[in-house]
């Protein structure tokens, strides 16, 4: 028993189950890990060179807490170019330490104790943790029966049950599902968000990795109510750089700024120079990575279909959500553990993304084609031996 009593608030908060599962299986010799959502490409050369130049020019001091004005202006131009939206660089954009800090600061700025936050699930695990840390009530909306998408009917039903809902965290393309929403689907949902006066925390970190359809930003449809979250982590293969941003109305940004400043004071300087280059000159790199992800996605979908697995229908990000086959006696956790130990392929149990993910598992295809081919051969053998 420790003599110290630490925060009671944290007693019911658990570290990420995905990382815990990944750590658990990492020691298995020869395992191919399709667990972590991290691009396997190098960061674009333009971004690397910009950071090196900043270091060599001794640009190593603090910047403005909201980020370098040059970067905020670059983000403003980037958003207009990509999503036809207009944000003022001095009052409506904040540079953050990745999308994670952007989400954290946004939730802490908008939530009062007990405020309700809904989100379609299975969802990215950090949402639940952050909402609860900020004192809100997290309400998962299970969308597994609707092709893993939030429909207007389901949304209306949830809002009828929880008419005092304040915030929706909406993520598309989705982690862990890979599904995304088309323009008409978004319009129908945005109409209901508007009617109910919801604040929409729109996590569009995978927007650039949208296949077969065009990404429409919630900030175009509902600028007054949206807190737009994005960054370079997934689009530009820059996870470790910790480069994110928030774009929203000035009234929201000025409050979010207070949380942001007390958390991190200022974003990393060299990362910001790299990000300017990435947003300005990274399109070619994005196009190449996207084409590669798309090939891998199609390959995996074909292989899983041949083996009789049900999968989500991903149109973005680099994840495939796969159902544990009926012949398997056990849940998603048992299945992933057996695959890790016997087939030496690591995938994440779906229940790590909420109850709605039970009996599914997530495959990340941010891995080379050779690794995916080998992983699928091993899964095929595992299926034949166990079915
Ligand atoms: C949906 C989603 N949002 C946010 C993040 C975090 O992004 P960042 O690395 O910029 O903090 C991730 C990372 O996996 C994610 O999947």
Give me the DSSP letters along 182-206: -HHHHHHHHHHHHHTT-EEEEE-TT
Band of residue 21 on the pLDDT scale cut at 50, 70, 90: confident
Q: Is pTM beyond 0.75 here?
A: yes
Gap from CA of 37 to ligand 1 centroid (Å): 8
- Per residue in 34-69, pLDDT (tens digit) is 998 889 999 999 999 999 999 999 999 999 999 999
Atom of ligand 1 nearest to the CA of 239: 9
- The whole-number average pLDDT for the span 216-220 is 98
What's the 382 CA to ligand 1 centre distance in angstroms? Answer: 31
CA of 244 to the centre of ligand 1 (A): 9
Read off the pLDDT band of 1 (50, 70, 90): low
Distance of CA 99 from the midpoint of ligand 1 (Å):
6
CB 229 within 8 A of CB 257: no
Q: In whole numbers, what is the pLDDT of the chain averaged over residues?
A: 96
- The CATH label, of 3.90.1150.200, 3.40.50.300, 3.90.1150.10, 3.30.365.10, for the domain at 8-43+284-386 is 3.90.1150.10
Distance CA 345, CA 354 (A): 22
Domain segments of the chain: what residues? Answer: 8-43+284-386, 59-281
Largest CA distance in the chain: 61
pLDDT of residue 363: 97
Q: Is 41 helix (H, G, I), strand (E, B) or coil?
A: coil
Q: What is the pLDDT, as a whole number, of residue 44?
A: 98
Residue identifier of the C-alpha nearest atom 14 of ligand 1: 37
Centroid of ligand 1 to alpha carbon of 205 (angstroms): 7
- Ligand 1 centroid to Cα of residue 323, in Å, is 23
What integer pLDDT is reported at residue 11 of this predicted model?
A: 84
Q: Closest ligand 1 atom, CA of 101? A: 11
Q: Distance of alpha carbon 272 from its chain centroid, rounded?
A: 21
Residues with CB under 6 A from ligand 1: 37, 98-100, 124, 171, 175, 203, 205, 231, 233, 239, 244
**Six-digit token pair at 376?**
């699928």
Query: 202: CA distance to ligand 1 center in Å?
Result: 12
CATH 3.40.50.300 holds for 59-281: no
Give the span between the Cα atoms of 65 and 145, in whole angstroms. Answer: 44
- Mean pLDDT (whole number) for 173-201: 98
% of the chain at pLDDT higher than 90: 91
Q: pLDDT digit string (tens) for 63-78?
A: 999 999 999 999 999 9
Is the omega angle on the peptide bond into residue 122 within 30 degrees of 0, that is, cis?
Answer: yes
Determine the length of the chain.
Answer: 387
Helix (H) / strand (E) containing 231 = strand 226-231
Q: Which residues contact 183 (CB under 8 A, 6 or more apart)?
A: 214, 216
Predicted pLDDT of residue 244:
98
Nearest residue by C-alpha to atom 7 in ligand 1: 99
Ligand 1 pocket: which of 205, 354, 362 to mutate (most atoms <8 Å of CB)? 205
- Helices 283-306 and 369-386 pack at an angle, to 10 degrees, of 20
Q: CA torsion, points 28, 30, 36, 40, in degrees to nearest 10? A: 160
Q: Residue whose CA is closest, atom 13 of ligand 1?
A: 37
Residue 257 has pLDDT above 70, yes or no: yes
Instruction: Please indicate whether residue 132 or residue 16 has the higher confidence score (pLDDT).
Output: 132
Radius of gyration of the chain (CA): 21
| Tens digit of each residue's pLDDT (9 = 90 or more) over 227-242 | 999 999 999 999 999 9
Answer whether residue 212 shows pLDDT above 90.
no
Q: Which ligand 1 atom minimizes the distance to the CA of 171?
A: 1
């Amino acid at each position: 028993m420790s003599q110290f009593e630490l925060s009671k608030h944290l007693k019911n908060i658990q570290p990420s189950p995905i990382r815990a599962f990944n750590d658990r299986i990492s020691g298995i010799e020869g395992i191919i890990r399709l667990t972590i959502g991290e691009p396997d490409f190098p960061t674009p050369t333009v971004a690397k060179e910009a950071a090196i130049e900043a270091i060599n020019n001794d640009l190593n001091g603090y910047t403005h807490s909201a980020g370098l004005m040059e970067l905020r202006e670059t983000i403003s131009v980037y958003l207009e170019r990509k999503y036809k939206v207009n944000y003022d660089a001095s009052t409506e954009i904040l540079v953050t330490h990745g999308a994670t800090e952007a989400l954290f600061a946004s939730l802490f700025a908008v939530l009062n104790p007990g405020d309700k936050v809904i989100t379609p699930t299975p969802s990215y695990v950090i949402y639940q943790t952050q909402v609860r840390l900020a004192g809100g009530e997290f309400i998962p909306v299970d969308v597994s029966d609707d092709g893993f998408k939030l429909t207007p009917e389901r949304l209306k039903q949830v809002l009828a049950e929880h008419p005092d809902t304040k915030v929706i965290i909406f993520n598309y393309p989705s982690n862990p599902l890979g599904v995304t929403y088309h323009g008409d689907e978004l319009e129908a949902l945005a109409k209901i968000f508007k009617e109910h006066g919801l604040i929409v925390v729109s996590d569009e970190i995978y927007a650039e990795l949208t296949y077969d359809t065009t990404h429409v930003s919630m900030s175009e449809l509902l600028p007054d109510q949206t807190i737009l979250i994005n960054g370079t982590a997934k689009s530009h293969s820059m996870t470790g750089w910790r480069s994110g941003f928030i774009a929203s109305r000035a009234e929201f940004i000025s409050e979010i700024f207070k949380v942001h400043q007390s958390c991190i004071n200022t974003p990393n300087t060299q990362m910001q120079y790299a990000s300017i280059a990435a947003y300005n000159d990274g399109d070619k790199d994005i196009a190449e990575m996207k084409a590669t992800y798309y090939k891998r996605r199609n390959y995996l979908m074909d292989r899983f279909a041949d083996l009789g697995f049900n999968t989500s229908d991903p149109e973005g990000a680099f994840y495939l959500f796969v159902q544990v086959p009926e012949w398997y006696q056990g849940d998603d956790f048992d299945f992933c553990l057996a695959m890790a130990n016997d087939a030496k392929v690591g995938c994440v149990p779906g229940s790590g993304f909420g109850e709605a993910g039970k009996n599914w598992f997530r495959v990340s295809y941010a891995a080379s084609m050779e690794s995916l081919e080998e992983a699928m051969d091993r899964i095929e053998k595992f299926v034949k031996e166990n079915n």
